[in-house]
Chain A
Amino acid sequence: MTLTSLSIKNIGHNWLRTILTVVGTAIAILSFVLIRTTLSAWEAGVDNAAQDRLSTIHRVTFVMPLPKRYFDEFNGARGRIDGVDVATFVNWVGHKHPVRETEFFATLAVDTATYFDVYPEMSVAPDRLAAWKENRQGAIIGEALAKQFGWSLGDEVTLLGTIYPGVWKYRIEGIYVATKKSVDRAQFLTHWSYLNDSLPEGQRDMIGWVASTVTDASRAADISAAIDTKFDDQDVQTRTMSEKALTMEFLGGASAILGALDIVSLVIMGIMMLILGNTIAMGVRERTHEYGVLLALGFRPKHIATFVVGEGLTIGLLGGGLGLLISYPLVEQGMGRWLEENMGAYFPYFSIPTSVAALALGMAVVLAGVAALVPAYSASKLDVITALRRIG
């Protein structure tokens, strides 16, 4: 036996209370991990955005369209911008499933010739890509979306238009898989030309934004400025930014919710600390006589304080460990997979980051230690004679 093991053995004084406290701590850790993983998954698009990809949107807002001819000046028929490697364009279509209307997924009309050159992290079999390019009503969908709606190659799919009203019919020509975790695995990609040709004359030849890769990521800011300068004297001005900045702008509307979730996760840890502090304080009160005995035997107040803090750290470690033990199968195997398959547009990759697991365990231990400080201080101030007189 050592002073450390004596400190750890102290958790055995009241097993029921210890177990309940450890389980309570574990549930708090589970909640913390869930919230933090949700935040992390939400922000994965930002964190994992390509450094060498730029997005050019309408200067006022990304909701407003750009003339399609702008794209032709990137590296197309009408010109070239220095530093741009490959460019493509995308138009938000906003279709929805005719029956399962509340199940959101991104429907994008894209330039079939260039889209997968700019987004190489979306991998699709060459023969399927070729088939898609050949069929104006063809669609390539993400693997998660295919699983969500039970779609497979060759299926005829009918979607309802929202931005572009009407009934839109497509044929699934390919299914892409993501090679990076930031990729939304639930996109529905269609031909921009099919959309464009279906629109009234006055609405044609407009696109949502231009996405381009640059030859040198360190020059991204200069190239962005050059792109915007190029269109400064035209009827529609542009705003070019990194993919990361654009993703942040998309998520901007949810920032209040994310901030609130962040605070809730901290509140949970605060409550956990108070519960731990109360439990440890109860134990200290009950063992006053025992501490009196230890003091009589020659143990110093610092030993008593160390025993109390050690007990807190042990409970925190056990609770944190158990919380992670519960979290991993629940998130990695259960909830996370379900979210990826059914809400892939919001959570393309829902997995516990190592940093979140480490933070949760660290906070459980540190907060338990902090929670034990006040009871430890009280215990260290005990008068040996008074403590020996106290029974129970």
Chain B
Amino acid sequence: MNEDTAAASAAQSRVGKKPDTSEPTVTAKRAPIIVCRKIVRSFWRAKERLDVLDELDLDIPEGSFEALMGPSGSGKTTLLNLIAGLDRPTAGTLTVAGTEVSAMGDAALAKWRSQTIGFVFQHFNLIPVLTALENVELPLLLTSLGSSERKKRAQIALRVVGLEDRMHHRPQQLSGGQEQRVGIARAIVHDPRIIVADEPTGELDRKSADDVLTLLERLNKEFDKTILMVTHDPAAAERATVVRKLDKGKLL
């Protein structure tokens, strides 16, 4: 058992799940963790209504790794924001991890987000005045965990992404690929069921992008995380188990 696997085991044992190192299950047979029904998301520009998502239906099974592709303005990020609980649909129902997020208030939605969703951003979005360890620890500040436990979990998350030796570095002391791996560690440290990634390789060179995609694959396969990734990059989409295409607010 190598060190990463040990770290993975440690991380998983905390949440009472066994790491699944076998081949991925056939996602179609698992219950959907994300259910969109006739989702509409409209914006008003001057007096003109713009339907970015138009009665969209979507089921995403738990444990899948899905890529969402489409041209700019097709509604990819809007859909991702809705699923992540950052936004609410204008119409329709959206159920994520068993909760109808379209009906939740701001406070409840923020709490739900902090427990259920892990975010991976295109621009990494690490806090520059914090070390890698402190950045990873951020989501845990919202939990009731004690300081030492928070630190321990952040260390484990950094070990999972292979950056244990960089935990005291600040973002400006890391390469782009390393920053994104810290971002991924931050996304998994609170053990969310779903990871949403918005162009996670958009700022990276090919080698770093491959490393990040490999890491996401591993999180999907070994840790059973449901991953929804928005990307323009066909090479990134190839790593997903399902690729969905969106255009003018509708799935193709």
Residue numbers of A with Cβ under 8 A of B are: 1-3, 6, 9-10, 12-13, 289-290, 293-300, 384-385, 388, 391
Q: Are B125 and A289 in contact (CB under 8 A)?
A: yes
Q: Are B138 and A385 in contact (CB under 8 A)?
A: no
Q: Which residue of B lies closest to A300 (CB)?
A: B110
Q: Are B127 and A290 in contact (CB under 8 A)?
A: yes
Q: What are 26 A-B contacts with C-beta separation under 8 Å?
A: A1-B141, A1-B147, A2-B141, A6-B130, A6-B134, A6-B138, A9-B129, A10-B129, A13-B128, A290-B127, A293-B119, A293-B127, A294-B138, A295-B110, A296-B86, A297-B119, A297-B142, A297-B186, A298-B114, A298-B115, A299-B110, A300-B107, A300-B110, A384-B86, A385-B81, A391-B123
Name the one of B86, B111, B125, B129 contacting A13, with C-beta atoms under 8 angstroms: B129
Instruction: Find chain B residues with CB under 8 A from A9 CB.
Output: 129-130, 134
Q: Which residue of B lies closest to A11 (CB)?
A: B129
The yes or no answer to B202 lying at the interface (CB within 8 A) is no
> Which of B84, B110, B123, B147 is packed against the most chain A CB atoms within 10 Å?
B110
Number of A-B contacts (CB under 8 A): 60
Contact with A along B127-145 (1 / 0, CB 8 A): 1111000100111011000
The yes or no answer to B121 lying at the interface (CB within 8 A) is yes
Instruction: Find chain A residues with CB under 8 A from B81 CB.
Output: 385
Q: Are B107 and A385 in contact (CB under 8 A)?
A: no
Contact with A along B99-113 (1 / 0, CB 8 A): 000000001001101
Q: Are A297 and B129 in contact (CB under 8 A)?
A: no
* Smallest beta-carbon distance A298→chain B, Å: 2
The yes or no answer to B51 lying at the interface (CB within 8 A) is no
The yes or no answer to B164 lying at the interface (CB within 8 A) is no
Residue numbers of B with Cβ under 8 A of A are: 81, 84, 86-87, 107, 110-111, 113-115, 119, 121, 123, 125, 127-130, 134, 137-139, 141-142, 147, 150, 186
Q: Are A290 and B86 in contact (CB under 8 A)?
A: no
Q: Which residue of A lies closest to B119 (CB)?
A: A296
* Smallest beta-carbon distance B120→chain A, Å: 11
Q: Which residue of B lies closest to A290 (CB)?
A: B127
Sorted nearest first, the 7 A-B pairs with minimum C-beta distance are A298-B114, A12-B129, A293-B125, A298-B113, A9-B129, A1-B134, A297-B139
Instruction: Find chain A residues with CB under 8 A from B141 CB.
Output: 1-3, 6
Name the one of B114, B147, B150 contacting A297, with C-beta atoms under 8 angstroms: B114
* Smallest beta-carbon distance A73→chain B, Å: 78
* Smallest beta-carbon distance B75→chain A, Å: 13
> Which of A1, A2, A290, A300 is packed against the most chain B CB atoms within 10 Å?
A1
> Which of A289, A297, A384 is packed against the most chain B CB atoms within 10 Å?
A297
Q: Taking chain A's interface residues, is the majority helix, strand, or loop, or is none over half, making it mixed?
A: helix
Q: Are B128 and A298 in contact (CB under 8 A)?
A: no
Name the one of B107, B121, B147 contacting A2, with C-beta atoms under 8 angstroms: B147
| Extra A-B contacts (19), CB below 8 Å, given A297-B138, A385-B81 | A1-B134, A1-B137, A1-B150, A2-B141, A6-B130, A9-B129, A9-B130, A9-B134, A12-B129, A13-B129, A293-B121, A294-B138, A296-B86, A297-B142, A298-B139, A299-B110, A299-B114, A385-B86, A385-B87
Instruction: Find chain B residues with CB under 8 A from A13 CB.
Output: 128-129
Instruction: Find chain B residues with CB under 8 A from A12 CB.
Output: 129
Name the one of B111, B121, B123 contacting A298, with C-beta atoms under 8 angstroms: B111
Instruction: Find chain A residues with CB under 8 A from B86 CB.
Output: 296, 384-385, 388
Instruction: Find chain B residues with CB under 8 A from A385 CB.
Output: 81, 86-87
Q: Which residue of B lies closest to A5 (CB)?
A: B134
Instruction: Find chain B residues with CB under 8 A from A6 CB.
Output: 130, 134, 138, 141
Instruction: Find chain A residues with CB under 8 A from B114 CB.
Output: 297-299
Name the one of B87, B125, B134, B139 contacting A290, with C-beta atoms under 8 angstroms: B125
In the assembled complex, the Cα of A170 lies from the Cα of B239 at a distance in Å of 104
In the assembled complex, the Cα of A300 lies from the Cα of B141 at a distance in Å of 12
Q: Known contacts A293-B125, A391-B123; decide if A1 and B130 are in contact (CB<8 Å).
A: yes
In the assembled complex, the Cα of A9 lies from the Cα of B170 at a distance in Å of 13
* Smallest beta-carbon distance B221→chain A, Å: 25
In the assembled complex, the Cα of A232 lies from the Cα of B147 at a distance in Å of 80
Q: Are A296 and B139 in contact (CB under 8 A)?
A: no
Instruction: Find chain A residues with CB under 8 A from B87 CB.
Output: 384-385
In the assembled complex, the Cα of A385 lies from the Cα of B127 at a distance in Å of 18
In the assembled complex, the Cα of A2 lies from the Cα of B107 at a distance in Å of 21
Q: Are A298 and B129 in contact (CB under 8 A)?
A: no
* Smallest beta-carbon distance A15→chain B, Å: 10
Instruction: Find chain B residues with CB under 8 A from A3 CB.
Output: 141
* Smallest beta-carbon distance B175→chain A, Å: 20
* Smallest beta-carbon distance B133→chain A, Å: 8
Instruction: Find chain A residues with CB under 8 A from B139 CB.
Output: 297-298
* Smallest beta-carbon distance B111→chain A, Å: 7
Instruction: Find chain B residues with CB under 8 A from A297 CB.
Output: 113-114, 119, 138-139, 142, 186
Instruction: Find chain A residues with CB under 8 A from B111 CB.
Output: 298
* Smallest beta-carbon distance B209→chain A, Å: 21
In the assembled complex, the Cα of A294 lies from the Cα of B76 at a distance in Å of 22
Instruction: Find chain A residues with CB under 8 A from B137 CB.
Output: 1
Q: Which residue of A lies closest to B147 (CB)?
A: A2
* Smallest beta-carbon distance B98→chain A, Å: 18
* Smallest beta-carbon distance B122→chain A, Å: 10
In the assembled complex, the Cα of A388 lies from the Cα of B80 at a distance in Å of 13
In the assembled complex, the Cα of A388 lies from the Cα of B107 at a distance in Å of 18
